[in-house]
């Protein structure tokens, strides 16, 4: 079903894992996808290849979304490539950076975590909104950590993701009169390199065993939810933070 036929979408952090799955899913629904990736040309190329293998249309653009000039360059390239109308923005960029206690953390590190997860969402959204009109959809990425405070050493990440939920609510009110919807998703334990890097195998196994569905989630399942929030099927849904965690946490 080509529910996004003729739409133009930007996906930040589209080089791997959930970002790649979202990019491919939107393309399979008919969108022309601008895939942003950070420091791996190979990952960006792999996402582009997956989209083209699925019969979709896309372009891959490198950029560090913590830098305003890279954000502006991404949006300018999207407009140059597909015209001055961006219909969908998915802000996937973010990360835990490191697990630290408050005693181990300093202000520079804390501010970088906020910039990576919250400020990037603000900057990219601000740059895209002038090119977005009636029917536009913005999908932000929060986390279950933003609901429950996160695991050990993840309090700064949890703080930033909780702020993304609040930003989503506020922008949904501001942009709603223009016909633009703003929502976010709150993934729980999803099988990605995020947890390969930051979560011990035994912790992952314990979380999966305690999850009502008895498993981790998959990136493609998150992408399915994003595609719904980006599509006309969710036309009266805005300001929401949608949990996707297999039942580990009920908001």
Residues forming the active site:
157
CB-based contact 30:4 (threshold 8 Å): yes
From residue 25, alpha-carbon distances to 21, 51, 196, 203, 215 in Å are 6, 8, 23, 30, 22
- In Å, how far from its chain's centre is CA 173? 20
Interaxial angle between packed helices 41-53 and 17-28, expressed in degrees from 0 to 180 and rounded to the nearest 10: 30
Task: Provide the 10 A C-beta neighbour count for residue 79.
Answer: 17
Question: Which is it for the CA torsion 228, 233, 234, 235, positive or negative?
Answer: positive
């Amino acid at each position: 079903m080509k529910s996004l036929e003729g739409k133009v979408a930007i996906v930040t952090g589209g080089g791997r894992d959930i970002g790649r799955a979202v990019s491919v899913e939107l393309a399979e629904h008919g969108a022309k996808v601008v895939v942003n990736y950070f420091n791996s040309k190979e990952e960006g190329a792999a996402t582009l290849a997956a989209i083209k293998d699925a019969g979709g249309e896309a372009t891959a653009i490198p950029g560090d979304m913590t830098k305003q000039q890279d954000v502006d360059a991404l949006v300018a390239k999207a407009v140059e490539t597909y015209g001055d109308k961006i219909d969908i923005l998915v802000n996937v960029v973010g990360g835990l950076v490191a697990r630290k206690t408050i005693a181990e953390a300093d202000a520079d590190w804390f501010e970088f975590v906020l910039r990576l997860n919250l400020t990037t969402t603000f900057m990219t959204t601000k740059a895209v909104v002038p090119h977005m009109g009636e029917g536009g959809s913005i999908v932000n990425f929060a986390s279950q950590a933003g609901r429950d405070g996160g695991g050990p050493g993840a309090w700064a990440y949890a703080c930033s993701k909780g702020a993304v939920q609040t930003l989503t609510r506020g922008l949904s009110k501001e942009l709603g009169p223009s016909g633009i919807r703003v929502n976010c998703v709150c993934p729980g334990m999803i099988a990605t390199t995020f947890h390969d890097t930051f979560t011990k195998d035994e912790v992952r196994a314990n979380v999966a065993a305690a999850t009502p569905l008895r498993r981790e989630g998959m990136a493609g399942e998150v992408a399915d939810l994003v595609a719904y929030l980006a599509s006309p099927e969710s036309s009266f849904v805005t300001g929401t933070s949608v949990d996707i965690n297999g039942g580990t946490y009920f908001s």
